[in-house]
Amino acid sequence: MITFSLFLVSFGNQAFSQYDEKLVILETNLGQIVIEFFPDDAPNHVNNFIGLAESGFYDETIFHRIIPGFMIQGGDPNTINGDPNTWGTGGPNTSVDAEFNSIKHNRGIVSMARSADPNSAGSQFFIVDKASNFLDEQYTVFGRIVTDESFQTLDKITAVEIGNSDRPIDSEQVKITKVTVVNRSEVSNLLELSEPERTQSTTPQSTGNQKFESAEHEIAFSVPEGWLLQEPDETQENSPTVVAVGPKIGVMNPVISLTVHETNQRSLDELISEKNETLKQVIESGELNIISQKTITINENQAYVTDAEGDFSSNGENYNVKFREVIIYDTEKYYIFAYSNGIDNFDSQLSRFDETINSFEIFSKDPSTNESIEEGGGCLIATATFGSEMAPQVQQLRELRNNSLLSTQSGTAFMVGFNQFYYSFSPIIADLEREHPVFKEAVKIAITPMISSLSLLNYVNMDSEFEVLGYGLSLIILNLGMYVAAPVVIIHKLRK
C-alpha cells in the first residue's frame, strides 16, 4: 500500500502540490510522460496505479487505442506479446471500485478505463487529448500530465498512423519502455498548473436511467442516463418513434431506437416472415451477416431477437457495425427495439440495451383488462407461467380475450366481474410467487388444467352472444368438475 503525506496533513484539493508526493514517469519511444495524482478524489485508483507501476506491470505495454481529438489508451498486458485482437481485454486479476468525482475530462487528464460495470477498473487507463466532458463523473479521473514534454509526447502519439480498431500500425512507436515512480522533488521541469477544472455538482452524477413515456402509444421504458433522447418526425413508414444516442467511444455513437407499428391482425410468425424476406436481398449481397435469430418471451410478451453485423458507409467513412433487433409483439401493435454500435464496442453498451428492453411496459387501454392493478403485485397466472412453456398459451388466451370475448356484451360483463374478484387476491399471490420459487411451481402445476381447458377456445368460433355464453358456461362447469368435484370424489374414496 502506498502512503501519502496528505493522509497525515490535509491540504484539501491542493494536495497535488506537495513535494514529497509520488509521480509516475512513462518512458515511451516518442518521449516522456509525467503523471501527477489526485489522491483526495480517487485514493484507491491512485494506489492501484502506483502499485502496478512499481511492480513493472506497465513495462513494454503499448498505447493500443489511439483516437486523435479524443484520447490515447494503454495499460493492457496483452499488448506485450498477445494477439492484437485481444488488445483492450487484458488486465490484472483484481479490480477497483468506481471513485467518480467532479474533475472534468479536459486535455491532459488521466482517467481509468472500464467496462459497462462501473466497478471493473483494472490496469487500463487513458489520457485525454481533447476535452471530452461527456465522460465527466462517469469515469474515474485520478491524475493528469504535468510537463511540456508530456503534452508534446501526447501530440506525437495521436499523430501516428492508425489501423483497424484504432490500433497503431507500428506498435513500437507507442511502446511504454519503462515506468518509474519518483518523488515530486526529483522532477525539475514541472508546469505550474492550477487546480483541475470541476463540474458544478458536488456529488457524482447518477449512472441510472431516464424514463420515456408515450401517452399516444401507451408505452414506457428507460434509456441510459446522459444519452440524447429524441422523437424524430416520422416522415417515412419505418422512421423510428424514439431514438437515444450515446456518447461516442470508438468509431461511432451507440444508438438505441424504438419503432412502433400496427399489427393489422398479423401474427408474430407472419411479421417474422416479412422481416426475413426484406433482409433477404441484403444478406445475399453480402452486406449483412445474420449471427442468430430466436423467439423468446420478454415481460410476458412474445418477442423475436435478431443479431447481425455488416459493413456500412457514411460520409465517406466505412464502419463495421453490429446490431441487435428485438420485436416485441402485442395484439394491436408490435414494437421494434434496435441497438447498434461499432463491432469492437458493441458489448460495452449491450447491458444498457438489455435494461431498456426489460423496462418496457405496455399500458392497458381498457381498465377491465388491466393486469397490473397494485404496484409490486401482478397477475398470478402471468407470473407463474413467465418464461415457461405455457407462456405462449397465456398470450393466445389474452388475444382471444381481446378479440372475441370483449367484442360481446356477455364477454365484457364476465371479464369485468372476473377481474374485480380475481385481482382482489392475485397481486398478493403473484408477489409470493416472485419471493418463493417452489410456491411459483406449485401454482403453475395447479393452474395447468385450467389453462389447458381455456385453450380449447382457440379452436372454436365465437361469433355471437349465444356462442360466447354457451362455451363460457361449459368451461366453468368443466373447471368446477376438475377443481371441486374430482377432489371431493378422490377424498371420499380415500377416506373409505
Q: Which domains does the chain have, with CATH numbers?
A: 5-186 (2.40.100.10), 209-362 (3.40.1000.10), 367-495 (no CATH)
pLDDT digits (tens, 9 = 90+) for 138-190: 899 999 999 999 999 999 999 999 988 789 999 999 999 999 999 988 888 89
Distances (CA, A) of 384 to 297, 377, 388, 438: 13, 13, 8, 11
CB 126 within 8 A of CB 157: no
d(C-alpha 240, C-alpha 260), whole Å: 8
Q: How far is Cα 305 from Cα 425, in angstroms, rounded to an integer? A: 35
User: Which DSSP string do the residues of 27-60 spell out, in sequence order?
Assistant: EETTEEEEEEE-TTT-HHHHHHHHHHHHTTTTTT
Measured between alpha carbons, how far is residue 405 from residues 200, 280, 463, 465 in Å? Answer: 58, 39, 10, 9
Residue 320 identity (one-letter amino acid): N
The pLDDT, as a whole number, for residue 236 is 66
Cβ atoms of residues 296 and 388 within 8 Å: no
Q: Determine whether 279 is exposed, middle or buried from the number of CB atoms within 10 Å of its CB (0-12, 13-18, 19+).
A: middle
- Decide if pLDDT at 487 tops 90: no
Query: How many CB atoms lie under 10 A from the CB of residue 284?
Result: 9
pLDDT, position 390: 65
Q: What pLDDT, in 10s, does the model give residues 338-350?
A: 999 989 889 888 9
Answer positive or negative: Cα dihedral of 433, 439, 445, 447: negative
Asked whether the predicted pLDDT for residue 232 surpasses 50, the reply is yes
Element holding 180 (H helix, E strand):
strand 175-183
- pLDDT value for 154: 96
The three-state secondary structure class of 444 is helix
Q: Running DSSP on this structure, what letter comes out for residue 134?
A: G
Backbone φ/ψ region at 28: left (φ over 0), alpha (ψ -120 to 50), beta: beta
Instruction: Inform me whether the pLDDT recorded for 364 exceeds 60.
Output: no
Q: What are phi and psi of 298, to 5 degrees?
A: -125, 115
Is 1 a residue whose pLDDT tops 70? Answer: no
Q: Give the C-alpha separation, 217 to 227, whole Å.
A: 22
Q: Which residue has the higher pLDDT, 231 or 205?
A: 231
Say yes or no to pLDDT of 221 above 80: yes
**Dihedral of the alpha carbons of 309, 330, 393, 360, in degrees to the nearest 10:** 70
List the strands of the sheet with 242-245, edge to edge: 228-230, 242-245, 255-262, 333-342, 317-329, 301-314, 288-298
Answer whether 99's CB lies under 8 Å from 142's CB: yes
Give the containing element (helix H, strand E) for 333.
strand 333-342
Q: Which residues in 243-265 are b (16+ Cβ under 10 Å) and which e?
A: bbebbebbbbebbbbbbbeeeee
Question: For the chain, how big is the Rg over CA atoms in Å?
Answer: 30
* Residue 115 or residue 176, greater confidence: 176
The pLDDT tens digits of the residues spanning 450-461 come to 877 777 776 667
Q: What is the largest CA-CA distance in the chain?
A: 101
pLDDT in tens, 296-333: 888 778 899 999 998 877 656 778 899 999 999 988 89
Percent of the chain exceeding pLDDT 90 equals: 32
Mean pLDDT, all residues of the chain: 80
